[in-house]
């Protein structure tokens, strides 16, 4: 008989931390080199314990010390924060104002909650492969924008464990961004804005009429998102099949002329309840073509509105507050989501459309895979190699290798530059 492993059980979670959590890989990812540096020792960790106990400002001198404390506290999850001017655990002995964040990965959070108003396959806390398409489309656009427009290279995408995805950017330039610079960057990337009572959530055009020009970066994203819109919004989710859906669609068409195409479209659709979203979208395009053949200005306005609709339904919906502040904490990769038991594993952005949340390893599945391997009372650092967690840890390790390689190259260049500088100085200055 197979053992039952419940992720809510303290014994199960302790076993997971002792035998499966890849602490060494996590340390190297945060530290960028093998020997502990301030990138790790001055880093904040926070722990969530049973009874809604939340412990902030923890820090550690080594990865072994971190593992020992995690196993001892046995948190339901732990989070990673900024690198500070001093070790966060010493904050009570420091003068006021001394402890300040100095570095932090640039992080992003995309959650299915922000798509609840438009997805039709699931609701509430549910997620399936179909609505994962919203997350996948967002990853496509955001990954390309951050690499091509900002030049970032070290992007780590991590499944949140239930219905979202996190992004950590570890480039030196990203780590050094101030809060003000992060806010400016988010101001550029945030396209879909507004609460649930605001129908039009995309206002990114500029020009005489406010609809003529779309920035080239958004134009490039739009060209990609047209396929996502057709496949995901129109065909798969069929977002405009029901009255609630197509009424919102019609409200996004700014036609207030005497022959308002919205009026007759609504009448036609109300009379044909079986009309699909794809058919309704084609109805709109035909209506625009017919009503604007002698009015280029109106045609430009209405076609721009269709493009904005595509952006509104498919462009990444970002939790801006997560990204704006260096002192914001984010759940560590490879934690276990308490509701699903799934491990927060890395995701390859190239294959994000193939990713299936339901197939992510759970803590129960992983421990079952280890059930035939005796613990022998010894410390275990890499039992994950014997389980289905291995490809995901390998993915993080490949990411770490690139980070470390760049770090070594940077230190080598700095050393060469310093040597060249010293050689140009009088000997009395160099050895003073």
> Which residues form the catalytic set?
44, 109, 111
- Six token digits for residue 412: 């080598």
Cα within 13 Å of Cα(49), Cβ side: 12
């Amino acid at each position: 008989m197979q053992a039952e492993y419940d992720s809510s059980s303290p014994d199960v979670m302790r076993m997971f931390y002792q035998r499966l959590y890849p602490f060494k890989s996590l340390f190297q990812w945060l530290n960028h080199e093998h020997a502990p540096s301030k990138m790790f020792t001055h880093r904040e960790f926070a722990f969530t314990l049973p009874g809604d106990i939340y412990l902030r400002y923890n820090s550690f001198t080594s990865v072994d010390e971190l593992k020992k404390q995690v196993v001892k506290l046995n948190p339901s999850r732990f989070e990673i924060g900024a690198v500070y001017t001093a070790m966060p655990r010493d904050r009570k002995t420091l003068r006021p104002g001394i402890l300040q964040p100095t570095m932090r990965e640039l992080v992003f959070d995309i959650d299915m909650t922000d798509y609840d108003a438009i997805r039709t396959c699931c609701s509430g806390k549910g997620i399936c492969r179909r609505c994962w398409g919203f997350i996948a489309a967002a990853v496509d656009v955001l990954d390309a924008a951050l690499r091509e427009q900002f030049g970032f290279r070290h992007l780590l995408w991590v499944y949140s464990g239930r219905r979202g995805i996190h992004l950590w950017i570890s480039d030196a330039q990203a780590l050094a961004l101030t809060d003000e610079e992060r806010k400016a960057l988010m101001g550029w990337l945030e396209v879909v804005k507004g609460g649930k009572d605001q129908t039009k959530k995309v206002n990114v055009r500029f020009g005489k009429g406010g609809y003529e020009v779309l920035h080239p970066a958004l134009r490039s994203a739009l060209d990609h998102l047209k396929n996502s819109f057709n496949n995901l919004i129109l065909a798969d989710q069929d977002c405009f099949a029901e009255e609630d859906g197509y009424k919102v669609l019609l409200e996004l068409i700014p036609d207030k002329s005497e022959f308002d195409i919205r009026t007759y479209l609504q009448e036609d659709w109300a009379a044909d309840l079986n009309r699909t979203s794809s058919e309704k979208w084609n109805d709109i395009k035909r209506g625009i073509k017919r009503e604007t053949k002698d009015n280029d200005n109106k045609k430009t306005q209405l076609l721009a509105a269709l493009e904005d609709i595509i952006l509104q339904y498919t462009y990444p919906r970002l939790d801006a507050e997560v990204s704006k502040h260096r002192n914001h904490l984010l759940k560590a990769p490879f934690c276990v989501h308490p509701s699903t038991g799934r491990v927060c594993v890395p995701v390859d952005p190239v294959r994000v459309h193939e990713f299936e949340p339901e197939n992510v390893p759970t803590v129960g599945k992983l421990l079952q895979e280890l059930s035939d391997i005796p613990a022998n009372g010894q410390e275990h650092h890499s039992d994950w190699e014997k389980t289905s967690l291995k490809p995901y840890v390998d993915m993080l390790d490949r990411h770490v290798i690139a980070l470390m390689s760049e770090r070594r190259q940077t230190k080598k260049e700095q050393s060469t530059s310093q040597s060249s500088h010293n050689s140009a100085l009088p000997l009395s200055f160099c050895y003073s």
